[in-house]
Amino acid sequence: MSDENNIWITVSCSAAVLAVASLSYTRLEPNRGTDWKIHAAYLAIAICSVVFIPESIASYIFTELTVTLVGCVYPIYRATKAVCTPDDDDDKEWLQFWMLGGVMFMLTTWVDDVIQADKANSVWLGSLLFAFFWLYFPLTCGALLIYDNVTEPLLGPRLRPLQRKMNNFITYLYQTLANAVHLYLLWIIFMFLPAGLKRVIAIAIGTVYPFICSVTAAATDEIEDDTYWLTYWAVFGCLFLLMDLFETWLGRIPGFYTLVIFTTIYLMLPMFRGADKVFRKILVPLAGLQELLILRDSIQIKKQMLKDLDPERARIVRKHIAKFFDGDGDHDADPAVLKGELMQSWSAIRIPKIKLPFGKSSKDDDTPTETTNLV
């Protein structure tokens, strides 16, 4: 069989596996992974598939393309959609997946370099495929199961103090690296490291600290930090794919992994908010989810407005915002006109008088003075 036919068979098999994963996720009802019989059956199917499927067939199914599509590309899409939708539960769900996915990215860094035999490679890729799918398969919900039984009760209390220390360390490190001399010395040391070690360092920088922050974020009721780190994981997943794709040709060029590290830092640190910029400018348009993101932003603005303003002022602001969006280029939708109406509405609100601890009382303030008589 020609190489071209082999490529088409591999792509077709990978697409078929991706279709099965997508349909099962969208059609099956999740059960929070509480039925251990399903886990046992899933494990048995995985072992039989990985071990007993002939190598001639497994070489087309258990490939790097299949693992990439099921374990990274599809989760990137689902995480992007989760951030764009108004629901909050899916943010935590996919954040839990990416916490474990980041650990698995680190694991593949060492194993890929060790495995050489074709059969062992098929077994490894098949195991990865079933492991990634187990994390978000609705009948197993592996990521949620691990979070409820391991991450939250065991890792969460231990990682929160570590996160505070790492936040202080990162602030100090950022201030230190602002000095060009320190940055240049670190870059020289890094350039002399082997390519494999550079890759490990690049992936560790992109996964260790975000993993700790994601664990502490998922343990809180606030949704903003969940959304922030889920956005980061979606964008970092794309960066990981690009690095994995181009490092075969560019990995030995000086500066390749340095660029990956600086890009990761730009995406990760809140002072830059790079992940949010890339997410909104690139990922959301590619996924065709602009309308959903605008809807979510509108809902977040309303929640923030109700939180910051008293009910009466919030009602007035919502009324004028709705008037602006309902208008279609007419005079009533002019921002200047709406601003004047808004200020007029505010002036109609009775503001309670505040009795100052010093000075005249409110009764004295009502007494006409020489200045007021002149006016």
pLDDT at 314 (0 to 100): 78
pLDDT at 120 (0 to 100): 72
Predicted confidence band of residue 44 (pLDDT cuts 50, 70, 90):
very high
pLDDT at 247 (0 to 100): 81
Q: Looking at per-residue confidence, does 180 or 290 come out higher? A: 290
Contacts made by residues 78-81, CB under 8 angstroms, sequence distance 24+: 78/25, 78/136, 79/230, 79/233, 79/234, 79/237, 80/234, 80/279, 80/283, 80/284, 80/287, 80/289, 81/287, 81/289, 81/292
pLDDT at 70 (0 to 100): 94
- Say whether pLDDT at 338 is over 50: yes
Lowest mean pLDDT of 22-36, 47-61, 270-284, 330-344, name the range: 330-344
Query: Which residue is it, tokens 């930090």?
Result: 225
Burial (0-12, 13-18, 19+ Cβ within 10 Å), 18: middle
Size (the chain), residues: 375
- Say whether pLDDT at 53 is over 50: yes
- Say whether pLDDT at 356 is over 70: no
Q: Which of 151, 153, 147, 152 is nearest to 135 (CA)?
A: 147
- Say whether pLDDT at 109 is over 70: no
Query: Which residue is it, tokens 């994995």?
Result: 244
Predicted confidence band of residue 310 (pLDDT cuts 50, 70, 90):
confident
Predicted confidence band of residue 211 (pLDDT cuts 50, 70, 90):
confident
Q: Looking at per-residue confidence, does 330 or 259 come out higher? A: 259
Lowest mean pLDDT of 11-25, 72-86, 110-124, 191-205, name the range: 110-124
pLDDT at 45 (0 to 100): 96
pLDDT in tens, 152-180: 788 777 777 776 766 666 655 555 554 44
Distance CA 97, CA 94 (A): 5
CB 75 within 8 A of CB 99: no
- Say whether pLDDT at 143 is over 60: yes
Instruction: Give me 272's structure tokens.
Output: 């830059």
Instruction: Give me 18's structure tokens.
Output: 């991706």
- Say whether pLDDT at 74 is over 80: yes
Q: Is 21 helix (H, G, I), strand (E, B) or coil?
A: helix
Average pLDDT score over residue span 350-358: 52
Question: Whole-prediction pTM value?
Answer: 0.79
Mean pLDDT of the chain: 79
pLDDT at 88 (0 to 100): 73
CB 261 within 8 A of CB 269: no
Q: Looking at per-residue confidence, does 254 or 132 come out higher? A: 132
Task: Please report, rounded to a whole number, the percentage of residues in the chain having pLDDT higher than 70.
Answer: 75
Task: Please report, rounded to a whole number, the percentage of residues in the chain having pLDDT higher than 90.
Answer: 29
How remote is the C-alpha of 263 from its chain's centroid?
16
Radius of gyration over every alpha carbon of the chain, rounded to an integer in angstroms: 28
